[in-house]
Structure 1
Amino acid sequence: MDSAGGSELFESYEQDFEAIKVSIHERLAASGSQAGEIKKQTLRAADREIDEANEILQQMELELWNLPQSTRTRLQTRFRGYKADLDRVKQTLKRAQSTSRSTADRDELLGGASGGIDLDAASMDQRTRLLNGTDRLAESSRRLQDSHKIALETESLGAGILSDLRGQREQIIHTRNTLQEADSNIDKASRTLKGMARRMATNKLITASIILVLVLLILYVLYRKIFSY
């Protein structure tokens, strides 16, 4: 759900990132006054936290794609700033690790075991937050997969509708062609019937004329017979 500043989940990632960034800076600052194995363990703990911070940034980036365009554009500037911060921290860690390798101390190495236990205990909370963040990442991935599935189903439905419309269009064209052919046949039949009607009228006229002539001849013959006596 969106909050006034954007996404509540995104802001939760921001809080986690800021907290782990502070912890990394504290470890790097502490390593400056340490030596030997204790310094190596401090730097290893900082390196683990950098990996955790990188995981959080990946989750933040996934969450950005679930936000509206207007909110996403505004939060992307902050996201790029976090990436730049993490890149600077990585460079600082590399320099510290390089210095640590060149100034290793055997005495510090002998007493380093107990210090490592303390550092690992101090990073348990960070690992717990990483596990929680991993769960949120899995949830975000599931939401993206669901969105992708819905998009594919919508695309398939649209393709089916287009196929149905194409079939209906072909049926309409076929029906129109059939009607045009039928109309043409009707015109031909109409012309044929009109021609037959004209011929029938002509034949009737000829027949009537013949009958009239025959009647006149019969009357003429009767007239001659009657008046010849």
Structure 2
Amino acid sequence: MDSPGGSELFESYEQDYEAIKLSITERLNASGNQNGEPKKQILRAADREIDEASEILQQMEMELLNLPQTSRTRLQARLRGYKSELERLKQTLKRAQSTSRSTSDRDELLGGLNGGSDLDAASMDQRTRLLNGTDRLAESSRRLQDSHKIALETESIGGGILGDLRGQREQIIHSRNTLLESDSSIDKASRTLKGMARRMATNKLITASIIIVLVGLILFVIYRKIFG
């Protein structure tokens, strides 16, 4: 579940990173007071922790993919700051390694081994945190895969809906064309009926005229016979 500031998992990675960054810084500072094998032991431990810190940052970057855009933009700026810090620590480690001198003195070697036991214990603790972080990364990857699967299913459903809409659009176009054809047929029929009505009216007038003329002729003939 996301916290108000972003992702709880991202913030957990941040805590792990801050802890390991502090350990790296302390080791690099301590290496300045050592020589020979003890110094090399400290620098090797710091190198391992830098690798672990890099993996934590990679896990943080993966977690950003699961966040909404508003939180992602802000947390990406913080992640870039962490990457810059780690790069500076890498450069400091390289300079310390370049100035480190090897020695074959047995006492220094034994001292380095004894001094390295505490460092190895701390490294084991860092490895435990890294394993926990790896488990969280696997969980994030699983969530990302689930999100991808849901996106594919949504895309498939959307494609089906678009296909249905396309079919409905074709039906609507066909219905519209049918209506246009019907309107055209109705217009033709209307014009035909109007023409027939005009012809019928004309025929009625002609018939009435003929009847009137015939009646007039009959009356004229009768009049001539009676008064002629």
TM range (shorter): 0.7 to 0.9
Runs (5+) with no aligned partner, structure 2: 223-228
> Hey, what's the Cα distance between the residues in 2 that align with 1:181 and 1:17?
75
Q: Paired residue for 1:97? A: 97
> Hey, what's the Cα distance between the residues in 1 that align with 2:58 and 2:191?
82
- How many residues are matched? 223
Cα deviation for residue 125 of structure 1 reads: 0.9
> Hey, what's the Cα distance between the residues in 1 that align with 2:3 and 2:216?
115
Deviates more, 1:87-96 or 1:108-117: 108-117
**Percent identity (aligned):** 81
Relative to 1, partners in 2 of residues 1:175 and 1:110: Cα closer, same or farther, differing over 3 Å?
A: same
- The answer to whether residue 14 in structure 2 is matched with residue 14 in structure 1 is yes
Deviates more, 1:77-86 or 1:19-28: 77-86
Cα deviation for residue 34 of structure 1 reads: 3.0
- The answer to whether residue 87 in structure 2 is matched with residue 87 in structure 1 is yes
Relative to 1, partners in 2 of residues 1:188 and 1:19: Cα closer, same or farther, differing over 3 Å?
A: same
The two structures have a TM-score, normalised by structure 1, of: 0.76
Do the aligned residues in 2 keep the contact of 1:35 with 1:105 (CA within 8 Å)? Answer: no
Letter matched to residue 66 of structure 1: N
Do the aligned residues in 2 keep the contact of 1:63 with 1:140 (CA within 8 Å)? Answer: yes
Letter matched to residue 162 of structure 2: L
Q: Paired residue for 1:220? A: none
> Hey, what's the Cα distance between the residues in 1 that align with 2:69 and 2:178?
52
Cα deviation for residue 180 of structure 1 reads: 1.0
Aligned 1:137-176 pairs, distance under 5 A: 137-176=137-176
Q: Paired residue for 1:56? A: 56
Letter matched to residue 134 of structure 2: T
Q: Which runs of 4+ in 1 moved over 4 A?
A: 112-118, 196-217
Cα deviation for residue 13 of structure 1 reads: 1.3
Do the aligned residues in 2 keep the contact of 1:20 with 1:53 (CA within 8 Å)? Answer: yes
RMSD of the TM alignment (CA)?
3.4
Q: Paired residue for 1:227? A: none
Q: Paired residue for 2:2? A: 2
Cα deviation for residue 104 of structure 1 reads: 0.7
Cα deviation for residue 20 of structure 1 reads: 0.7
Cα deviation for residue 189 of structure 1 reads: 2.6
Runs (5+) with no aligned partner, structure 1: 218-222, 224-229
Letter matched to residue 119 of structure 1: L
Letter matched to residue 98 of structure 1: S
Q: Paired residue for 2:30? A: 30
